[in-house]
Amino acid sequence: MVGILVQLIISALLLWVVEQKNLTALGIFPAGLRVRQFILGFVVAGSLCAVAQLFYSSFTHSLWKINPFYSSQVLLKSIGLDLKSVLFEELIFRGALLYILIQKIGSRKAILLSAVAFGIYHWFSSNAWSNPVMMIYVFTSTGIMGLVWAFAFSRTKSMALPIGLHVGWNLFYNSVFSNGPWGDILLVLEQTEDSMQLTGVISLINFIMSTVLVPLFIWFVVRKTKDGDTSGTPFN
């Protein structure tokens, strides 16, 4: 948590020096609306992640089972790691820097730049740098999601919705369905006699669903979300 505190201090300094704003510029108020936006993001992204994982198990004829070595302590630790990683990434990519970029170069360019940076960042965080095919996949999947989350920040003038979306997706992906770097947590994929690897058209459908359709649905939800800004300061 020390790292998060340092990020908040740096964010506050950047906002003050460049824009003469404080951290409330990142959309803390009105508090009630921001809580609702966070919950909306969490529910939407978590539900979509669950649907995507269920489709994957259906395509591969596999079954999701409770991890036989599951423990509440391990789950809580995994959730804590998810929260820390999300806050770390959000403060970098959907925080003060994105706010400043929106003011300086406009929303569209700022959102695109944030998404590209988010995709490149995941080359390093996922150790995909030496594998060109994996680099393309990681950049595409995380870049598109980063595009939608940056749009959520621009649309609502707050970090609440993108944080909710990010937490919802990561928590279900990593801690519920055990796909992340924390290992087997709550559910594990069990092979059956009919289990198979994704290939051909089915593999393409699964890729399109998780990389295109999920972000597209989130984008649609974000478009319908009120900004709730009361500062009188528009985003470009």
pLDDT in tens, 150-192: 999 999 999 999 999 999 999 999 999 999 999 999 999 998 8
Nearest alpha carbon to residue 158 among 58, 108, 233: 233
Amino acid at 24: T
**Is residue 16 in a domain?**
no
The pLDDT tens digits of the residues spanning 194-234 come to 788 878 888 888 888 889 999 999 999 999 886 655 444 44
In a 3-state reduction of DSSP, which class is residue 61? coil
| 115 part of a folded domain | yes
- Pair 27, 158: CB distance under 8 Å: yes
Has residue 144 been placed in a domain?
A: yes
Which domain does 113 fall in, by range? 38-223
Does 30 sit behind a cis peptide bond, omega within 30 degrees of 0 on the bond before it?
Answer: yes
Residue 65 inside a domain? The answer is yes
Q: Which of 176, 229, 186 is nearest to 26 (CA)?
A: 229
- Comparing CA positions, the residue from 20, 27, 22 lying closest to residue 12 is 22
- Confidence label for 236 from pLDDT (cuts 50, 70 and 90): low
The pLDDT score that the predictor gives to residue 202 is 81
174 lies in some domain: yes
Stretch 114-125: mean pLDDT, rounded? 95
Instruction: With respect to residue 142, please indicate whether it lies within any of the assigned structural domains.
Output: yes
In a domain, 19, yes or no: no
In angstroms, the CA 109 to CA 97 distance is 13
**Number of domains present in the structure of the chain:** 1
pTM across the whole model: 0.93
Q: Is residue 196 part of a domain?
A: yes
